[in-house]
Structure 1
Amino acid sequence: MSVRATARVVAERDGLPVLQSDGPLALRRTRAGGAYTRVTVVGAMSAPLGGDRLAIEADVREGARLHMDSAAATVALPGRTRRAAGYDISLGVGEGAELRWLPEQLISARGSGLRMRTGVQLAATARLVLREEQILGRHGEETGTLATRLTVHRAGRPLLDQELSFGPGAPGGWDGGAVLGGHRAVGQLLVVDPGFDDRPPEPRRLGETAVLTPLVGPAFLVTAVAPDALCLRRLLDAALIDLAGG
């Protein structure tokens, strides 16, 4: 039997008026440093399985600062149905607010199917740090089928629209030299900060398998591939510390 569940958090300057968990998605307020309120996603059961429909909604209102992470990696697993699972993430960040969206990796296990969509709406003065990491197969196994889409709008205008597809059924060449080149970990780090209007970052390579791309707007995107999850995290962490002060 498929699971449908939505977890929702609303952050304001003085607290969390909404912290709603559902099904396998448990949200917990956890200890944070500095001015951030921290919320951690804790998996209450194995999910997403084939056919599941999961969603997380975060609304960071004017002047609030929210750090969201997860307690463990999310593992997409095969279910009793051949239908792909769906995982939708909706993030909104208001004027003068900041969101740090830093979950653990998404692992695509053999035989699984997952369509993941992340949509972000930013006010003109909002700040965002967003990290996504996809691991194609557990240790020693082939990947499942994974399709992701990341769309970001700032002040109502498109900032980024990126789609990735991997595994059986994905367009040919996804594992070739022009895309992954045999690597099994891929990640993105997106940073949006109005301060970049005056000091936009320059495009450049970051090591052998990562690249920084400035966007049309006060933002940059780091895209990286790596042989495994640990190497990928080190690449993205180094980029975050170097380019956005951690």
Structure 2
Amino acid sequence: MRSHAVLDIGSSQTTQGVTRSIIERMRSQGALVLRPTKEVLPGWSAQWNVPGTKPVMVRIVAGAAGPLGGDQLRLEVTVGKGAFLMLGAAAANLVLPGVHGEQSRSDVSITVAEGGTLIWNPGLQIAARNCHHTTLSTIDLAAGARLYAREEIALGRFGEEPGRFRQRMRVIRDGKPVYDQELAIGSGAPGWNSAAVTGNRRSLGTIVIVDPQRAALPQSQAMVADTAVMELSDEATLISSLAPDAIELGRRLDAAFNGLLADA
């Protein structure tokens, strides 16, 4: 299955002078179904210098099982000047093998203009046995754009080994790379389960934060197991964590991020 979804977010001002984000274009296709929601922003956003712009909230709903072997999925998102988008998956994605052993692929391309804000949470990716999948996510930020991007991976379902799973995430700001990391697990990736990579843990995840309105977030003093907090630049911070399962991974990422906010 080939699916190509597009989402463009702009902004406008009300008669009261309030800046409001609006959906300018939204197109779903096949397995990628976009649905606007009326959600409450996460509580931490009040501490994270998120602007007063009223946000647009959209969930990605699976229109079909998978990704399955052979699927080609593409999502293109644009957040305009001064706009605010919270975009995430409605549920976890189970990456499955296809009938003929073909590779599946997901490409996500997001552009955030000057003064724009993006909260991106694609949900847990579960690399099932015998899957063969590649994911590439590219987030291109203009100067002055804000970002909270969170990615989580479970290495197989309960009691099974993961298939072949490759994930790369790139964050570019003002034309310069801020973060570029690739992970490969399963057969064809020697040492993926060694102490240098996953350390025999079953889940791993990252949070990338870019906020030009403050200097680099302080180094968190919170001690969280198998979790590192690293400064990427004067305006960007990375949280990286390993855990025995997806539930504990979420707890560790939350604890490290909340520690950053507490120290700010």
Bin the TM-score by the shorter chain: over 0.9
Using the TM superposition, give the Cα deviation of residue 178 of structure 1 relative to its aligned residue in structure 2, in angstroms.
2.3
Task: Give identity over the alignment, percent.
Answer: 38
Q: Find out whether 1:190 has 2:218 as its counterpart.
A: no
Maintained 8 Å contact 2:224/2:255:
no
Stretches (4+) displaced over 6 A? none
Letter of the 1:211 partner, please give it: A
2:248 corresponds, among 231, 235, 239, to: 231
Structure 2 counterpart of 1:4, one-letter code: R
Deviates more, 1:231-240 or 1:37-46: 231-240
SS in 1 for 2:252: helix
Structural mapping, 1:189-228, within 5 Å: 189-197=207-215, 199-202=216-219, 206-228=223-245
Q: Give distance in 1, aligned partners of 2:259 and 2:37.
A: 26
Determine the C-alpha separation between the residues in 2 that align with 1:64 and 1:242: 27
Q: How big is the shift at 1:153?
A: 0.8
Deviation sequence 1:77-99 (CA, Å, 0-9, x none) = 00022221110011111111100
- Cα shift at 1:29: 0.2
Q: For residue 9 of structure 2, what is the amino acid of its counterpart?
A: A
TM-score using structure 1 length: 0.93
Q: Measure the CA separation in 2 of the matches of 1:168 and 1:220.
A: 31
Q: Which runs of 5+ in 1 are unaligned?
A: none
Unaligned 5+ runs, structure 2: 12-20, 42-53
With normalisation by structure 2, the TM-score equals: 0.87
Structure 2 residue 100 is the aligned partner of structure 1 residue 81:
yes
Give 2:6's match in structure 1, choosing from 8, 16, 23.
8
Residue 243 of structure 1: SS of its match in structure 2? helix
CA RMSD of aligned residues (A): 1.6
User: What residue number does 2:197 align with?
Assistant: 179
CA pair 240-204 structure 1, distance change in 2 beyond 3 A: closer
The question of whether the paired residues in 1 share the 8 Å contact of 2:220 and 2:260 is answered with no
Q: How many residues were matched structurally?
A: 241
Pair 1:144-2:142 in alignment: no
Structure 1 residue 180 displacement after superposition: 1.4
* Cα distance in structure 2, aligned partners of 1:51 and 1:137: 19
